[in-house]
Structure 1
Amino acid sequence: MKIHHHILLSFLFIVLSVGCSTGATKASNETSNVVSKVDVNPKIAEESKPTSVDHSDFNKILQSYVSANGNVNYAGLAKDKSKLKGYIVSLTKINPSSLSKNEKLAYWINAYNALTLDQIITNYPTTSILKIANGKVWDQTLSYKFDGKAVTLNQIEKKILLGNELFDARIHFAVNCAAVSCPTLINKAYTADNVQALLTQNTKSALTNPAFNKISTAKASISMLFNWYKADFDKAEGSVINFINKYSSTKVNSNTKIDYLEYNWNLNGK
């Protein structure tokens, strides 16, 4: 049988088209399979997201029981202690190592301050934190575990907040020891967004508040914190004088007579 040349060419074109289409479909399916295999597991994606800590409950507590000048209504807080304890428990369920630096700073500063408040109301009424645990409250192992580990207040402050990763001498004006001479406990929770601004604000406020520091060019009567933690201020700015001059509007120099104010350990509230 004689087959016309143009019919043969048409037939070959159809065969080739079908083959190409089949191959393309197969390749497309294989590509889809590969894509589906590398799709991110939703659980892994969720775990990989930076953790954001909600401190709103602590903020409400501070707004309710701490005045603008840092006086704490411990009697009222003691009657409402379940809220404070609930907030602390919520912190223990978070892995701090998953947090950004500012999140860690806010997390641990809030934790320290909340735990200090908890120590007072657990032992309330008292007139001074020094009357708790024979004056060794900072070395007492806390009943709460963080990241599965038992900790003390001293470990949180000196090993974590003032450790190599988070070290910042301004932290001394953020953590509160529940005493009159401690830098003011602000009635606002720290967050990743406000922690840097608040650290600076608190430091400047402490240096200009005559209840904590009385600074003039001729004489500076300063908080005992500068004596107890001199190494931290030296590490931060080279010297206590340099640190003061960085955050105080009144400058001091090597000729300025410096002494330290007596520390008042009476409770910062009632």
Structure 2
Amino acid sequence: MKKISIATIIMIAGIWIAGAHAAQVDHALFASLLNRHVKDGVVDYQGVKDDEAVLDQYLEVLAAVDPDRLSADDQFAFYANAYNAWTIKLILSRYPDIRSIKELGSLFSSPWKKSIARIDGDLLTLEQIEHDILRKRFKDPRVHFAVNCASKGCPPLQGEPFAGNRLNDQLDRAARAFINDPRFNRLEDNTLWVSKIFDWFSEDFHGDVIGYFIQFADVPMRDQLEKNKGRIKVRYLDYDWSLNGT
């Protein structure tokens, strides 16, 4: 038997590794749905319902993906898109007879604990995607502006899918848009009124909401926060769980 040199083994391994990380996911179907049926974060669920076959095709695309073959940024984009697409599918399971995603749960179960997301042979819950994968693996607080819980209090659903090659810019834009939207956050004198997200996930923001806002706030809010940081108190707004649809 002919021996294989170490150099050849290294070359073959390098080719295999490169191929393993060259996998791509086609999010075009989801892009078409978001482009047609999401405007300023408001979802036309009836329009998506009419196009549910397209959504189902996209979910089949996701189900066939091995996320471990993706780069880190492509993994983040993949799971964020999967969360958002499966959340829409969950809403459609009862639409139009639904006013809040919470109606899909019960006293003993949560809609986020339903095993619905088919990915690479597994059946995941939305909770697993958000907390066990996105938050735990990537430790990027901007995830909270990327995943959408189908509620008006949630950071608006983006009008395009996330993509690994544009991920950082997309996450920055999502964070900046949410933080500077007075519907969700506002500075009144020395009180910074913010979304409950910053309370529920305070550890993700290292317990420094004001410092995080300074990173993304526009002028004049940023200047006021920097100037009066020691005197500003943080207060949390009520969360609106009503459906983010027309």
* 1:92 matched to 2:59: no
Question: Normalized against structure 2, the TM-score is what?
Answer: 0.86
What residue is the counterpart of 1:191 in the other structure?
Answer: 163
* 1:73 matched to 2:44: yes
Output the CA distance in 1 between the equivalents of 2:71 and 2:21.
11
SS in 1 for 2:43: coil
Output the CA distance in 2 between the equivalents of 1:211 and 1:48.
43
SS in 2 for 1:186: coil
What residue is the counterpart of 1:150 in the other structure?
Answer: 123
What residue is the counterpart of 2:192 in the other structure?
Answer: 220
Q: 1:160 aligns with which of 106, 115, 133?
A: 133
What residue is the counterpart of 1:58 in the other structure?
Answer: 30
What residue is the counterpart of 1:248 in the other structure?
Answer: 217
Letter in 1 for 2:209: V
Output the CA distance in 2 between the equivalents of 1:213 and 1:257.
13
Q: How many angstroms does 1:217 deviate by?
A: 5.8
Structure 1 residues 2-46: Cα deviation after superposition (integer angstroms, max 9, x where no partner): xxxxxxxxxxxxxxxxxxxxxxxxxxxx9xxx9xx98969x9689
Q: What pairs up with 1:102-141 in 2 under 5 angstroms? A: 102-125=73-96, 126-134=98-106, 136-141=110-115
Output the CA distance in 1 between the equivalents of 2:200 and 2:21.
40
Across the aligned residues of Structure 1 and Structure 2, the Cα RMSD in angstroms comes to 2.3
SS in 1 for 2:80: helix
Output the CA distance in 1 between the equivalents of 2:20 and 2:75.
17
* 1:210 matched to 2:186: no
SS in 2 for 1:194: helix
Output the CA distance in 2 between the equivalents of 1:47 and 1:92.
20
SS in 2 for 1:232: helix
Contact persistence 1:78–1:122 (CA under 8 A): no
Letter in 2 for 1:247: F
Q: How many angstroms does 1:175 deviate by?
A: 0.4
Structure 1 residues 216-260: Cα deviation after superposition (integer angstroms, max 9, x where no partner): 5612110000000001111xxx62221111111323313112211
Structure 1 residues 52-92: Cα deviation after superposition (integer angstroms, max 9, x where no partner): 1111111001001101x111000111121111111011111
Compared CA separation, residues 203 and 45, structure 1 to 2 (3 A): closer
Structure 1 residues 129-154: Cα deviation after superposition (integer angstroms, max 9, x where no partner): 11112271011111x42122221101
What residue is the counterpart of 1:176 in the other structure?
Answer: 148
Output the CA distance in 1 between the equivalents of 2:214 and 2:133.
26
Structure whose CA Rg is larger: 1
Output the CA distance in 2 between the equivalents of 1:46 and 1:82.
34
Letter in 2 for 1:74: Y
Q: 1:233 aligns with which of 200, 205, 208?
A: 205
Output the CA distance in 2 between the equivalents of 1:258 and 1:202.
21
What residue is the counterpart of 2:242 in the other structure?
Answer: 266
Output the CA distance in 2 between the equivalents of 1:198 and 1:228.
23
Output the CA distance in 1 between the equivalents of 2:146 and 2:187.
20
Compared CA separation, residues 173 and 49, structure 1 to 2 (3 A): closer
What count of residue pairs does the alignment treat as equivalent? 230
Structure having greater relative contact order (Cα 8 Å, sep ≥ 6): 2
SS in 2 for 1:258: strand
Q: Which has the higher strand share?
A: 2
Is 256-265 or 133-142 further displaced after alignment? 133-142
